[in-house]
Amino acid sequence: MPVDPLRVAVVCSSNQNRSMEAHNILSKRGFDVRSFGTGTHVKLPGPAPDKPNIYDFKTTYEQMYNDLVRKDKDLYTQNGILHMLERNKRIKMRPERFQSCKDQFDLVVTCEERVYDQVLEDLNSREQETFQPVHVINVDIQDNHEEATLGAFLICELCQCIQHTDDMENEIDELLQEFEEKSHRPFLHTVCFY
Amino acid sequence: MASGDQSKGGTASQYLSTDQDAALDMTTSEKVVELLNQASLISTEEKLVILKQVQELIINKDPSLLDNFLDEIIAFQTDKSIEVRKFVIGFIEEACKRDNELLHRLIANLNMLMRDESVNVVKKAILTLTHLYKVALQCLVRTKSVSDMQEACWDMVTQMKDDVLALLDSDNDGVRTHAIKFTESLIITLSPRTPDSDTPKKHEGDISLDKIPKDHTYIRYDTLSEEGKFALEQLLKFMVHPAISSINLTTALGSLATLARQRPMFMSKVAQAYETLHANLPPTLAKSQVSSVRKNLKLHLVSVLKHPSSVDFHGQISTLLLDLGMSQNEITRCTPATAQPRKRLQHEPFVEGKRIKMETALAEDDEDKEEPAPVITPKPSSSVGTQSSIDLTAEYLLPLLSPENVANLVLISMVYLPEVMPASFQATYTPVESAGTEAQIKHLARLMATQMTSAGLGPGLELCKARDEEVKEEEGQSEISSKDPLIIRKYSAVSLGQAISVLGGTYKSPVTEETPQIKKLPEPILPTTQPKAPGASGRKKVFKLADVVQPFSEVQVEKLINMSVNRILHSEKAIALSGMSHIRMKLLARLVTQFEGGMKDDLMQFILDDMRSRSELAFSLLYHEYNEYLSQQPSGSLDSYEQCLFSLLSGLQEKPEQRDGLFTKLVLEAPVITDSALEVIQRYCEDESRVYLGISTLKELILKRPSRQFQYLNVLLNLSSHEKEKVRSTALGFIKRMYEKEHLKDCVEKFALTYMQFLVHPNPPSLLFGAGEDTEVAASWTEETVRQCLYLYLSLLPLNHRLVHELAAVYTEAIADIKRSVLRVIEQPIRGMGMSSPDLLLLVENCPKGAETLVTRCLHILTDKVPPSPELVERVRDLYHKRVPDVRFLIPVINGLEKNEVIQALPKLIKLNPIVVKEVFNRLLGTQHSEGSSSMSPLSPAELLIALHNIDSSKCDMKSIIKATNLCFGEKNVYTTEVLAVVMQQLMEQTPLPILLMRTVIQSLTMYPRLAGFVMNILARLILKQVWKYPKVWEGFVKCCQRTKPQSYNVLLQLPPSQLASVFERCPEMREPLLQHVHSFTPHQQAHIPSSIMAVLEANIRKQEPEPEPQHPEIMEERQHVSVPVPQEEPPAPAPVAFTEPEPEPEPIPSRREVDEPMEQEETAHAVLEVTPEPASQMEVAEEATQSSSVTEKTEEPMEESSAMSADVADLPQVVSEDADTDPGTSNVD
């Protein structure tokens, strides 16, 4: 369906690592993709596990980058956060919160079950108007760079397969079953309506 | 198509406005024309952009243009591109929303698009209809006077609605999903909004049932309400489909939640549906799908829980949520704080409203309904009215769930557990925490009630059904009444307001009937065919029998007959009670034998169902059949009787358990055993579990039915070669008994011999393969087929020894394969006959030509465990001496022979195959078997060994003799030191000395080193016997001395000088140690040594005088240390060492470091020495003497040289050789 490309949203908690990695890859492959976070804040690792860097969704990646450089350039270079932010700011200005976005999608891919629950809760709490369906699929990805990359490729493959189906809604079930078998991870999958 | 498309539209308009700046002067109309012109020519993608611009222009910017360009845009609905067609649908929706009137024109187009070939277009159309349905309804409600066009439009919308509902069964998942959403929206529209409805703000103004005036001229409130309910039923029905896809299920779950929130009147149904679903997750779901669905269920349950109207169902919902893994705390948090149990006011009016109407309708109904329905109608809307069937069933179950009952239920259901745990169970299983509490029992009752209700069981369901039916009936009546315009009109004046509205609706209906779509309209408006008409008319006719009665058709007659017979058939118990069973039996038997048709089968089936208690009936039937046959004697056929007997017998065979002798009784009491019956009997016999019963029945038949005795016997005999072991052995057992009967004996014997005679054919006859004819097939004999021919014969053999000669006769003619098989199978019977059997002795005595192997085999079998009897020995001896001088005959009876006979036969015996030789020795030495034969041997072990030594070498080659002696040495248990000492003693005393004497001495010494002293004695005495005169023995003598030094020194010193010199010639290395030995003597002792001896001893020293002496001791020491003779010390012996390297000759430089090297040389020289001078046999003595010390059991290995005549029949006892026939051995025997 080249005329009506799949509108994809990739959602993780903070719209930094997993969703952005997938956003990056998917947009390179020519998808109509956007990425979101569902958290109330954007959290990035800090100097200690209990001291994360917390920003709100209005903060741009640039600002975060500068903030972290100022705080401890070495640490954040070494743990790859700066590199990630650099990548992110090339993709878009700032992280976006899924709950604040009223645009419609055909497919929402979430990166962990908690995010999936939040997305579902949000979509179901919206007032239904058009009854346009949106499929929500959860692919569990651990929140680190390597898994994010692997997960992004999996998501990308999934999206490509869905894009190539003649009748997505009719085939997605089977497709997901195949993917589950292939990737040895379970996918949660549901449909919501706008 | 609200926000999404609008936002798109928004961007489009922005895009457009820039365009517009460029063409300011253009009017919108012109612009649209231009765009449309462009659009028809360009690619899909651009076309879409342009069409969206047009849509923006004519819908939002200048709606007045909409009408003008409508047709142009709609024309795109036939576009090739799916996207363009979808755009058209979107356009229709927008246009209709903008101008509702357009709906009348566009609905047909939408209808067309809904049948599009692309599912995506269809889905879009369904979505649009979801919105337009409301628009259409709204539009209709607004107008007071409805035009034809509007009516037609609404009819079409209604029809499309039905079409979409039907799409719930579509093959396409996505289409179904959209249909569900449509249904959801439809139900909401077609049900009244109530104060507690949780309506989204954006849908605040939407039409719903409560906004529809009850006095509308065209649409009817209650029809719509029914349609809404019907849609809900459809949705609920759809949800419980066992193969529903996970997405559809999810969608439906969401829809139900929406329904429950927006129309709380459905709360109970929704809660029940959730409950049912939770307990019955579709088995088709995969594991992850189950978790997705459960997640959804949880989400929706929570959303329902939050709704205030769910308060009555909080119990159910919390239980479900607990099961879904939510904690009690979370649940409490989700429960609204104002959860005060409120009255279910909201939906009572709905029901009530209907009720009133119904009552009025009923009131109008006339009195021809005999049931007192009208009286009970005003039901108090009590709990019964609202309680679901699950509630009722659960209530019913609750008191029944005693621990005992529950335990029983669990035990019973264990049996039905599937082998693999289904994914849905795995996901839903939560350990029971509060077992036994009241809450848990209630929960359990509900769970069970849910299951029962979904399975269509339980008192609750029945009650509800009854209630529903009541309601339906009432409704049906009201419908009927309203359908009859006349009646309504008649009563309209007195009816209530609602009734008037009904009247209004029906009044219109004749008009709508004319439009073609009317057929699709919901039933109430349809003029149905009068179901009540004939009854209601109540006209009475004069009764005439002929009018009512018609002659039955043949089929009917037959049916009636069958039914009567069946009644008699099945009144078994009742008649038995009255004591008239014998009449019933007779009646049945007669009826059935006289009528053709299916009755027989029925009766037969009936009998077979319980053969045991109905056997009398069976016999009765059988005799009747036979009687029937006799009564038509000259031309009568047995077919029917045969059929009857056959069915009975084979029916019995099919019964799993048949312990009593019913079968035997039936067979023996049947007037005639037909061929097919005999076949059944045979089948019985071939059935391993029944074989005994079958064959004993057969035996009875043989004995008690002499007229066809031989036919039955033949069946039995045929079974004797049956492939199943059990069948065969049973048959053989019975045949043996038959064989004892004088009059049957011949027949049995003939049969056995005939079968055995088959063996002389080149191929097995086809008879053996079950085929009836005697044609030969090209198959070759196998072990199996050979045995088949012999089973009977062999089992008769022990009973009649005479038969053995027949076997010999057949044997001589048979081919090799058969011979081999025969030899294998005769063991048991021959042993059974025993060696005293005169016939066997006769066989041995006569030994027909070609049967030698058979006779040998018999002999072996007979003597295997028992020593041979003198008679047997006598016959064998006779045979051997007079007719067949094959020594192998003697082997089985060897222990029965005289000593000298054995000794005579020995040379021949030991030339046989090594395995056979071994066997012979085993027999002779008594090492063969643990029991029996040991005492009988005519030769003692010592005698045997001596006899071996004394075999004339002209009769037997030395190699075989050596091997035979080796066999003896192998039996260490038999040849103990004592035995060997006796042997050596005796051999030594013989003159001349046996060639192998010294070999045996050396070997004995190797076996028992403690014999050394005795051997020295022997050696000394051999000197007296001038051992050097026997070159071979002398050779061994020297070797022995060499081995036994230093003990042998004293013996050596007793040799005459020339002989001593000869010893040194052979073993120069002996000289020095011997000299040393002599030097160690006391002078007195030395004086005893003759000077001639000393001369021989010191001969060398004198020669070596020039050598530096002092070195010697050292070297000597060295040499002695390694205890190896030192060749360098002596000059090379003249002859024997002539060809060795000349190295020893130049005297080695006596330096320390060179010691090693000469040592090596000396070893090689030593080896050479051993090999060279000896003649072949002697060499072997040495070789084997050394070998046997390490490997005592060396008998087999080098045998092949001596096997010139070994590989022949003689190896029978161990392996019946591969070629008993073709082997030259047999010809030898001749």
pLDDT digits (tens, 9 = 90+) for B739-773: 777 777 778 878 878 777 777 777 776 666 554 44
CB contact under 8 A, B200 and A133: no
Closest chain B CA to residue A106: B4
Model ipTM over 0.95? no
Q: Is B48 close to A3, i.e. CB distance below 8 A? A: yes
Q: Where are the alpha helices (DSSP H) in B365-458?
A: 373-376, 383-386, 389-397, 403-414, 423-428, 438-454
By C-alpha distance, the chain A residue nearest B295 is: A117
Please state whether beta strands A188-193 and A42-48 pair in parallel, antiparallel, or not at all (unpaired): unpaired
Bigger pLDDT: B205 or A113?
Answer: A113
pLDDT at residue number B660? 60
B281: pLDDT strictly greater than 90: no
Q: How far apart are CA B843 and CA B862, in angstroms?
A: 13
Q: Calculate mean pLDDT across residues B919-929.
A: 69
Residues of A in contact with B1 (CB under 8 A): 130
CB B1217 within 8 A of CB B856: no
Contacts of A193 in chain B (CB under 8 A): 181, 251, 254
Asked if the Cβ–Cβ distance from B299 to A191 is below 8 Å, we say no
Q: What is the distance in angstroms between the Cα of A168 and the nearest Cα belonging to chain B?
A: 8
Proportion of chain A in helix, strand, coil states, percent, rounded to 5 = 45, 20, 30
Query: Are A191 and B251 inside 8 Å of each other by CB?
Result: yes
For the whole model, what pTM was predicted? 0.46
Check residues B1107 and B45 and name the one with the higher pLDDT: B45
Per DSSP, the residues of B783-802 read: HHHHHHHHHHHHHHTTT-GG
What chain A residue is nearest to B287 in terms of C-alpha separation? Answer: A186
Which pLDDT band holds residue B628 (cuts at 50, 70, 90)? confident
Query: In the structure, what pLDDT confidence band is assigned to residue B380 with cuts at 50, 70 and 90?
Result: very low
- Per-residue pLDDT reduced to its tens digit, B1045-1072: 777 777 777 777 777 777 777 777 777 7
| pLDDT tens per residue across span B986-1013 | 887 777 777 777 888 888 888 888 877 8
Rounded to whole angstroms, how far apart are CA atoms A119 and A191?
Answer: 11
Q: Which of B368-377, B899-908, B1164-1173 has the highest mean pLDDT?
A: B899-908
Q: How far off is chain A from B265, nearest CA to CA, in Å?
A: 20
The pLDDT value recorded for residue B536 is: 37
What mean pLDDT is predicted for residues B47-51? 86
A vs B: CB pairs below 8 A = 108
CA distance B343 to B194: 14
Nearest chain B alpha carbon to A185: B288
Q: Which of B174, B182, B201 sits opposite A127 (nearest CB)?
A: B201
Specify the amino acid at residue B621: L
Flag whether residue A124 sits within 8 Å of chain B, measured between CB atoms.
yes
Express each pLDDT in B392-436 by its tens digit.
888 888 888 888 888 888 888 887 787 777 776 776 676 766 677
CB B44 within 8 A of CB B84: yes
Residue B528 burial by CB count (10 A; 0-12/13-18/19+): exposed, middle or buried? Answer: exposed
Residue B658 tokens read as 């048949």
Q: Which two tokens stand for residue A112?
A: 């962990």
Q: Which of A6, A140, A191 to mutate to test the interface with B (most CBs of B within 10 A)?
A: A191
Supply the pLDDT for residue B251.
92
pLDDT digits (tens, 9 = 90+) for B674-711: 777 788 787 777 777 777 777 888 888 887 877 777 77
Chain A residue with CA closest to B90: the answer is: A130
Whether residue B41 has pLDDT greater than 90: no
**Contact between chains at A170 and B181 (C-beta distance less than 8 A):** no
Whether residue B28 has pLDDT greater than 60: yes
Residues 155-194 of A with CB under 8 A from B: 167-170, 172-173, 176-177, 180, 186-194
In the numeric block, which tokens belong to residue B1173? 């001078």
Of the ranges B203-212, B365-374, B824-833, which one carries the lowest mean pLDDT score?
Answer: B365-374
Q: How far is A2 from chain B (nearest CA, A)?
A: 9
Please choose, from the candidates B717, B712, B725, the residue with its C-alpha nearest in 3D space to the C-alpha of residue B750: B717
In chain A, which residues have their Cβ closer than 8 Å to the Cβ of B258?
128
Least confident of A4-18, B649-663, B1038-1052: B649-663
The pLDDT assigned to B471 comes to 62
CA angle B1001, B1005, B1010 (to 5 degrees): 135
Q: How far apart are CA B339 and CA B317, in angstroms?
A: 14
Cβ contact, residue pair B4, A130, below 8 Å = yes
Q: Among partner residues A1, A4, A132, which is closest to B127 by beta-carbon distance?
A: A132
Taking only the tens place, the pLDDT of each residue in B303-355 is: 888 888 888 888 888 888 888 888 888 888 888 765 444 444 444 444 444 44
Give the pLDDT of residue B11: 46
B1226 vs B851: CA distance, rounded Å: 9
Find the residue in A nearest to B126 (Cα): A131
The whole-angstrom separation of Cα B670 and Cα B681 is: 13
| Whether pLDDT at B932 is above 60 | no
pLDDT per position as a tens digit, B74-114 = 888 888 888 888 889 999 888 888 888 888 888 888 888 88
Q: Which chain A positions have a beta carbon within 8 Å of B299's beta carbon? A: 117, 120-121, 124
Contact at CB, A189 and B289, closer than 8 angstroms: yes
- pLDDT at B496 (0 to 100): 38
How far apart are the C-alpha atoms of B329 and B221, rounded to whole Å? 44
Structural contact between residues A193 and B181, judged by C-beta atoms closer than 8 angstroms: yes
Query: Which H/E stretch holds residue B465?
Result: helix B459-483
pLDDT classification of B1083: cutoffs 50, 70, 90:
confident
Q: Measured between CA atoms, how close is B168 to chain A, in angstroms? A: 14
Q: Report the chain A residue with the minimal C-alpha distance to residue B127.
A: A131
Of the candidates B247, B109, B259, B81, which has an alpha carbon nearest to the alpha carbon of residue B178?
B247
Q: Above 70 in pLDDT, residue B1135?
A: no
Q: Is A48 on the interface with B (CB under 8 A)?
A: no
Distances (CA, A) of B892 to A18, B916, B920, B951, B967: 93, 11, 8, 22, 19
| Amino acid occupying residue B1115 | I
For B900, the 3-state DSSP assignment is helix
Res. B376: pLDDT tops 80: no
Q: Answer whether residue B598 shows pLDDT above 50.
A: yes
Give the separation between CA B810 and CA B1213, rounded to whole angstroms.
22
The arithmetic mean of pLDDT across residues A5-15, rounded, is 91
* Range of weakest confidence among A119-128, B114-123, B707-716: B707-716
Residue from A127, A170, A178, A181 to probe the interface with B (highest B Cβ count within 10 Å): A170
| Most confident segment among A30-44, B284-298, B685-699 | A30-44
- The pLDDT mean for chain A works out to 90
